[in-house]
Amino acid sequence: MDSMVTCIAPVNIAVIKYWGKRDEKLILPLNDSVSGTLSTDQMHAKTTVMRCKDFTEDKIWLNGKEVSFSNPRLLSCMKEIRRLSRESGTSEDIVNTKVHICSENNFPTAAGLASSAAGYACLVFALKELFGVKQDITRVARLGSGSACRSIYGGFVRWHKGDLADGSDSIATQIAPPSHWPLHVFILVVNDKQKKIGSTPGMQRTALTSELVQYRIKESVPKRIEDIIQAVKERNFDKFAEITMKDSNQFHAVCLDTYPPNIYMNDISHEITSFVHTYNELFPKPKVAYTFDAGPNACIYLEEESVPDFAATLQYIFPPEETLESYFKGESVQFGTVNE
Ligand code: PMV
């Protein structure tokens, strides 16, 4: 029987960063990571998957353009979904039917704004529905893009690095649902062009050349993971903010310690960092926390009560070109644009 499914999946913003793999093919990370998943209302991927007995081959369209289905990560997700579908008791006819996939992002692709995370989470979730898969699919999303496994759940999510060589324990679990702590996130788009060093070559280079990354994965991250989970559970924003900012800084220090260095932040990113610290000094405890992924754009976490004052100050210091409404866990926040 022919069938069609459409899904929407939001991006997630890591507060303890994933950087470096111990297995390239299975996408097994060097360390655990934690992120918050934004609400589906704003930055998201939307994917429609269709199976039809008349289709002769699997095909995919990204942002309206047909692209080759030969991408090894896409192929490995497809293969795993069909295997799990068979294991779930779906009939052989359905398992072997070819699919057509249409996926689009409503935000810049590959600009360090977690586009592949939303894209693969959305694709894998839609395929799970289409093929009647019953098992955990975070490990399938991981095969597409590591951080995608965290976008399968809302709220705060932990990706466990796992210890097994086959990756079966490298899965994502929810730490707290969206309703637990409705934080806000401002995304300050410093540059929406494709990043210079993609995360895959960037991570490879770090794993091969950085000495600091060894300290990070062995000493810093394990403690930070426990501490930030506790901060989330207790809704302790100042503890959450300090760990988030320290981890972002250490991740970029590891990138600079890479040879040749991976330089993702630019002068405006550093200005935003200073601005956040200056702003926080006005209060007894930090009110906002920055974090930067593999690009110059800033993600700012803050509590609801801090939104009006921080938004007004931000717009004064960095007047935005356009202001869009964005959402984190159902709560409205500003979506600013900072121009270079
Ligand atoms: O999943 P990838 O290959 O897009 O890598 C994501 C890496 C960071 O965004 C920098 C950190 C993270 O944990 O999301």
Q: What is the 3-state secondary structure (H, E, C) of 192-236?
A: CCCCCCCHHHHHHHHHHHCCHHHHHHHHHHHHHHHHHHHHHHHCC
Averaged pLDDT, 221-242: 98
Which atom of ligand 1 is found nearest the CA of 294?
A: 10
CA of 88 to the centre of ligand 1 (A): 30
Two tokens at 93? 């006819």
Residue 17: which pLDDT band, with cuts at 50, 70 and 90? very high
pLDDT value for 338: 29
First to last CA, the chain: 52
Asked whether residue 216 carries a pLDDT value surpassing 80, the answer given is yes
Higher-confidence residue of 49 and 193: namely 49
Which atom of ligand 1 is found nearest the CA of 112?
A: 9
Specify the residue for token string 């996408």.
Answer: 27
Two tokens at 326? 């964005």
* In contact, 30 and 203? CB cutoff 8 Å: no
Q: Does the beta carbon of 265 lie inside 6 Å of ligand 1?
A: no
Residue 127: which pLDDT band, with cuts at 50, 70 and 90? very high
Q: Does the beta carbon of 31 lie inside 6 Å of ligand 1?
A: no
Q: For a pLDDT cut of 70, what percent of the chain falls above it?
A: 90
Averaged pLDDT, 1-24: 94
pLDDT value for 327: 33
pLDDT value for 81: 98
Asked whether residue 330 carries a pLDDT value surpassing 60, the answer given is no
Assign residue 154 a region (left: φ > 0; alpha: ψ between -120 and 50; beta: otherwise).
beta
Residue 340: which pLDDT band, with cuts at 50, 70 and 90? very low
pTM for the full model? 0.92
CA of 250 to the centre of ligand 1 (A): 14
| Average pLDDT, rounded, for the chain | 90
CA of 161 to the centre of ligand 1 (A): 13
Per residue in 266-305, pLDDT (tens digit) is: 998 999 999 999 999 999 999 999 999 999 889 999 999 9
CA of 94 to the centre of ligand 1 (A): 34
Distance CA 135, CA 326 (A): 32
Residue 112: which pLDDT band, with cuts at 50, 70 and 90? low
Averaged pLDDT, 41-45: 83
pLDDT value for 109: 62
Closest CA to 17 of 326, 262, 193: 262
Two tokens at 16? 């303890």
Closest CA to 192 of 120, 265, 107, 319: 107
Per residue in 152-202, pLDDT (tens digit) is: 999 999 999 999 999 999 999 999 998 999 899 988 888 766 667 999 999
Higher-confidence residue of 108 and 40: namely 40
